[in-house]
Amino acid sequence: MSRSYFHLHLVSDSTGETLINVGRAAAAQYEGVSAIEHVYPLVRSRAQLERVISEIEAAPGLVLYTLVAHDLVDRLEAACRETGSPCLSVLQPVHALLQSYLGAQTTARPGAQHMLNAEYFKRIDAMNFTLAHDDGNLPDNLEEADVVLIGVSRTSKTPTSIYLANRGLKTTNIPLVPGMPLPPALEQVKRPLVVGLIASPERIVQIRQNRLLSLKADDSSLYVDRDAVAGEVATSRRLCAKHRWPTIDVTRRSIEETAAAILDLYREHRLRFIAS
């Protein structure tokens, strides 16, 4: 199938993360079509907007925006009409619904969701904790974690931990290495949610081979032997079953999907922990 391309302009008065996620989620529904993204964050003045408009004029396409200043919105929409570029405010329908439900007017505050509040500093604290407890470091502090991830090598423990930390969860991850004992504290933890990350042996071997190739290392060891890897995965499953720790198969999951499943498990875990 031949692939077609279109220009997608994402104009934000904040970081642009909302627009990027919305744009990519929508574009992913169309096979054979790819967006050429033009991202313009922190557009808060007329001069900044005029530079954005000049780029839209040079490469017309779809325009999504999250501007809240009315004068900037009016100027952008007028420019889009002149260039024949369809434009849409991603937040306006949500604002309209909230306004109707709450009976209150909005206050234009660009980037209000990124204020340095308690939630922000909670995420910073979680990130610092997670980085310090990566790959089995500081195992005696497991009880201080919100989530403990375990799994054999190459099951995305570290990137998943960092993603969860960005959501405010103190996360530590412990590798399951053949012949290496587990930290004694792991089997005694009460407060954290312990989750096992598993994947198919074929997928793990593939990732490990690519890893060794990038390091220009020998690939003849048990590290990439299919039967040995299958044994590691089986041991991981038995360990989690023994302790009734939930498992998540990450073979075909993105980090975001894995993290979403863990967050769902964590909510249930906290409710049970509080009730006990």
Report pLDDT digits (tens) over 146-185.
999 999 999 999 999 999 999 999 999 999 999 999 999 9
Question: How much is the pLDDT for 109?
Answer: 66
* Residue 231 assigned as binding residue: no
Beta bridge partners of 33: 4
pLDDT at 111: 61
151 is an annotated ligand-binding site residue: yes
> 3-state class of 183 per DSSP?
coil
Look up residue 260 and give its amino acid.
A
Q: Give the SS3 label for residue 175.
A: strand
Q: State the pLDDT confidence band at 116, using cuts at 50, 70 and 90.
A: low
> Is residue 29 scored above 70 in pLDDT?
yes
Q: Look-up: residue for tokens 């190459």?
A: 154
Structural domain spans, the chain: 4-110, 117-275
How far apart are alpha carbons 57 and 51 in whole angstroms? 10
Model confidence at 224, pLDDT cuts 50, 70, 90, reads very high
Confidence of residue 76 (pLDDT cuts 50, 70, 90): very high
Q: Is 221 annotated as a binding residue?
A: no
216 assigned binding-site residue: no
Q: Stretch 39-51: mean pLDDT, rounded?
A: 96
Are 185 and 142 within 8 A, CB to CB? yes
Tokens of 68: 């809240």
Give the 3-state secondary structure of 36-81. Answer: EEEEECCCCCHHHHHHHHHHHHHCCCEEEECCCCHHHHHHHHHHHH
Fold of 4-110: Rossmann fold (3.40.50)
Rounded average pLDDT over 241-250: 97
158 annotated binding-site participant: yes
How is residue 172 annotated by DSSP? E
220 annotated binding-site participant:
no
Q: Rounded to two decimals, what is the model's pTM?
A: 0.77
The pLDDT-based confidence of 272 (bands split at 50, 70, 90) is: confident
Q: What is the maximum alpha-carbon separation in the chain?
A: 68
- Name the average pLDDT for the chain: 92
Q: Tell me the C-alpha distance between 157 and 258, whole Å.
A: 10
Share of the chain above pLDDT 90, in %: 79
Burial call 103-123: b when 16+ CB within 10 Å, e when fewer:
eeeeeeebeeeeeeeeeeeee
pLDDT-based confidence at residue 191 (cuts at 50, 70, 90) = very high
Q: Which residue has the higher pLDDT, 95 or 245?
A: 245
DSSP state of 144: G
CB burial class (10 A; 0-12, 13-18, 19+) of residue 2? exposed
**Sheet hosting strand 4-11, strand order edge to edge:** 33-40, 4-11, 62-65, 87-89
CATH number for 117-275 (one of 1.20.120, 2.60.40, 1.10.3710, 3.40.50): it is 3.40.50
Q: Which of the 8 DSSP states describes residue 259?
A: H
- Amino acid letter, 179: G
User: Are 58 and 4 in contact, with CB atoms under 8 Å apart?
Assistant: no
| CB distance 192 to 146 below 8 Å | yes
CA distance 16 to 61: 18
152 labelled ligand-binding: yes
- Whether residue 22 has pLDDT greater than 80: yes
Mean pLDDT confidence for 198-224: 89
- Does 155 show up as a binding residue in the annotation? yes
